[in-house]
Amino acid sequence: MSAAFAPSSRDAHFIQVEKFNYAYGALQVLFDVDLDFHRQDITALIGPSGCGKSTLLRSINRINDLIESARVVSGHIKIDSVDIYSPAVDVISLRRNVGMVFQKYNPFPRSIFENAVYGLRVAGVKDKNELEEAAERSLRLAALWDEVKDRLHEQATGLSGGQQQRLCIARAVALQPRILLMDEPCAALDPIATARIEDLIAQLRGQFTFVIVTHNMEQAKRIADKTAFFYKGKVIECDDTMEIFGNPKQKLTEQYVTGRLV
């Protein structure tokens, strides 16, 4: 029987990716990826389209398992030293600990309240008071409560794009995960909504471990503690964000962050 995913150590190297190779069918897209993500850091993954950033992100909560041809070729991803691809790991429990926010905001065609508590309902929570407390807590964390507290039972699709994305963040944090994965969370938003999301991420710093895929290098500079540069399925360099953009060690990294590599 699969065990619940409940790692408990306090190792600073919270997420460890070790010689990780990944493929879709015969097409290999990640090659010997080695990365450490520190607890409660914000780490940005940057690089050209198709370089493997989103594949790695989606491997950390195994959402790629839903793609029939997707497979781990070799290597490991560990969270608190637990290999998340071990047969003993319960994937549902893993995904409760590792929340995900996608590029395109995707609220369900339900009320704001039902979106906020969706994960809890799936987990079997039925107590009205518990659901109401969780909805308020998660909407406050997503800096959305004051804007929607009087319209909780209206359709979520009536919110603006930026509000819908913050609702998706609320939905993700309602389960109180320790890790939040974000796949270009601002790509579909205007500059004002983007600034709100970046402010929100800054406010949540220290409460979650963030891994964020972004094509916006200025955004990476603004929000990330560390940045990893991917190219053709490989990690070329990972360092403190200011080092990556101000003093890169690898020529490819320098070419990319200065706009000379596309």
pLDDT digits (tens, 9 = 90+) for 1-43: 344 555 544 445 599 999 999 999 999 999 999 999 999 999 9
Query: Which segments of the chain have a pLDDT < 50?
Result: 1-3, 8-11
pLDDT digits (tens, 9 = 90+) for 109-130: 999 999 999 999 988 899 999 9
Quote the mean pLDDT of the chain: 92
User: Closest Cα to residue 170, out of 135, 123, 208, 125?
Assistant: 135
pLDDT at 4: 53
pLDDT on residue 123:
86
Q: Give the count of alpha carbons within 13 A of 88, CB side only.
A: 5
Q: Which residue type occupies 64? A: N
Q: What is the total residue count of the chain?
A: 262
Cβ-based neighbour number of residue 191 at 10 Å: 8
Q: Beta strand 13-24 with 27-38: parallel, antiparallel or unpaired?
A: antiparallel
Q: What CA–CA distance (Å, rounded) separates 206 from 176?
A: 13
For 87, phi and psi rounded to 5 degrees?
A: -60, -20
Classified as helix, coil or strand, 18 is: strand
The first and second tokens of residue 236, run together, are 């070329």
